Amino acid sequence: MEPQRVLVAMSGGVDSSVAAALIQESGHDVVGVTLRLWGGESDSGCCSVSDVDDARRVADCLGIDHHVFNMGEDFDRHVVEPYVADHAAGRTPNPCIECNRHIKFDRLMRRARSLGFDRLATGHHARVVDMPDGSRRIARASDPAKDQSYVLHMLDQDVLARLDLPVGEMSKDEVRARAAGLGLRTADKPDSQDVCFITGASRGDAGRREFLGRRIPLTSGRVVDGSGAEVGRVEAVEMVTLGQRRGMELAGGDGPRYATAVDTATATVTVGSAADLLVDATPVDRAVWADGPVDGSVLVQTSAHGEPVAAVLVSGAVHWEAPHRRVAPGQSVVFYDGDVVLGGALAC
């Protein structure tokens, strides 16, 4: 391939640092960019001042230019506001997927093209593969433990034609070893684990409650069993996810009970046994495809690191080959052919 101008999204982590180095080693004209997405109280995650500084210092080490793009308004509109609205409606959002959908591979890709870059590269652990018909697909990374194909399922042919994922063929240990060999300050930096706009002193459920509580009313509610009898209370119905077991004050019961329905309109959570969560089919909507709609036998993954299971996709519903645990409304359901992503949708 002739040398091209490549914009590398550098989050300040080790994966994107090595991605920039690998693209540079291939002989391309590389420029790094870090996205400033969140101007809130977060002091860590992918938007912190320290991460911008790490990315800039890696760029200096590699001898490439580095810029910061402020896309905070887009991030708030397409990621933060829908995240809050989903919780208010009793759905379970995936903000990382929405950030990829709207910011990194839409807004940033369009910015790259307008600035004259030929390609965009990121540090995601996934692969872009060429199909026999000349189209391209996202495929699972070589390192199964770090695979991020699930969160890239929305990428279409226009994006895939201009996308490089240089670390997708490497294990995480190989990435860190390469970074150490290059003397990059991010070589031993821990992976980010939290939603980037809910970090700092309060993490996990506490951080989520604090964040949501400043934006929407959090409503205490009843917990009822399948017959409608009240068996407990929850402090915030908006915080409950389908399938959740912890965080509910329940009386009595012969065994573990799980949230089987969440109704924020009536501030009611219904609980039942693990068997009550099993269904034969899951309705989905807002489907997106790598290269045209697919029906028929597929492998389906319902969480970022979940096990793929066999199903048949027909007319907006996933029909499981064996009874399957219900998928929380709002969660992504991703379709595979072996290791290759066909597309995805949202559970209803």
As annotated, the active-site residues are 99, 196
Give the total residue count for the chain: 348
Structure tokens at 211: 């964040």
* Closest to 55 measured CA to CA, from 30, 34, 24: 34
Residue 166, both tokens: 């240089």
Pairing of the two strands 258-263 and 268-272: antiparallel
Paired strand residues for 179: none
Residue entry with tokens 């089919």: 281
Distance CA 166, CA 156 (A): 18
Distance of alpha carbon 101 from alpha carbon 149, whole angstroms: 13
Whole-number Å distance between alpha carbons of 93 and 128: 26
CA distance 318 to 335: 10
